[in-house]
């Protein structure tokens, strides 16, 4: 693994050899970065990416950290637009450009309107609940 080779340089006792090792390994790491063989990012970028992918089921390649502390369990946004689709269900576009479609038959007392605050939470078995300004939730799935 590329980064491990760099870390191994710390264990070299001779200062000249250690510096040569660091120079060599940093150069290889930089080349790999330029050629896009690796990507180095910070936690804030990972969280932003995870939030953007919220609602999609993706294979776990270990790309975005791991463990429950990194998992996003809900998002908050605002409605950009909403329209009714088959059976009176809603298709709701959010300010972050994601699109969610209602999957249950629950009727909303008031139609979603642009600018309304929205919260989407994970539910069981890969499903999601959407709540408009604290009203009772509807079940949704992410379309885009």
Mean pLDDT score, 22-30: 93
Mean pLDDT score, 79-107: 92
Query: For residues 141 and 125, is the Cβ–Cβ distance under 8 A?
Result: no
pTM above 0.75, yes or no: no
Closest CA to 128 of 101, 105, 110, 108: 101
Which comes out higher in pLDDT, residue 55 or 12? Answer: 12
Percent of the chain's residues with pLDDT above 70: 85
Residues 85-123 as b/e (b if ≥16 CB within 10 A, e otherwise) read eeeebbbbbbeeebebbbeeeeebeeebeeebebebebe
What pLDDT does 112 receive? 93
Range in 12-21, 26-35, 66-75 with the lowest mean pLDDT = 66-75
Q: Where are the domains of the chain?
A: 2-63, 69-142
Residue 86 confidence class, pLDDT cut points 50, 70, 90: confident
Beta strands, E only, the chain: 74-84, 90-94, 99-102, 117-122, 128-132, 138-142
Helix, strand, coil percent content, the chain, rounded in steps of 5: 35, 25, 40
Res. 88: pLDDT tops 90: no
Question: What three-state secondary structure class fits 99?
Answer: strand
Range in 27-36, 60-69, 85-94, 105-114 with the lowest mean pLDDT = 60-69
- DSSP designation for 133: T
Query: For residues 40 and 33, is the Cβ–Cβ distance under 8 A?
Result: yes
pLDDT in tens, 33-78: 899 888 777 777 777 776 667 776 655 555 545 555 567 788 899 9
- Bridge partner list, 35: none
- DSSP designation for 120: E
What pLDDT does 16 receive? 96
């Amino acid at each position: 693994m590329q980064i491990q080779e760099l870390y191994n340089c710390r264990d070299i006792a001779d200062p000249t050899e250690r510096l040569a090792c660091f120079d060599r390994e940093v150069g290889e790491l930089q080349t790999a970065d330029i050629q896009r063989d690796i990507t180095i990012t910070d936690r804030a970028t990972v969280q932003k990416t995870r939030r953007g992918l919220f609602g999609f089921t993706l294979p776990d390649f270990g790309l975005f950290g791991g463990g429950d502390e990194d998992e996003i369990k809900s998002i908050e946004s605002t409605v950009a637009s909403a329209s009714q689709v088959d059976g009176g269900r809603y298709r709701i576009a959010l300010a972050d450009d994601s699109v969610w479609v209602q999957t249950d038959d629950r009727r909303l007392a008031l139609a979603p309107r642009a600018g309304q605050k929205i919260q989407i939470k994970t539910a069981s078995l890969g499903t999601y609940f959407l709540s408009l300004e604290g009203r009772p939730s509807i079940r949704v799935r992410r379309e885009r």
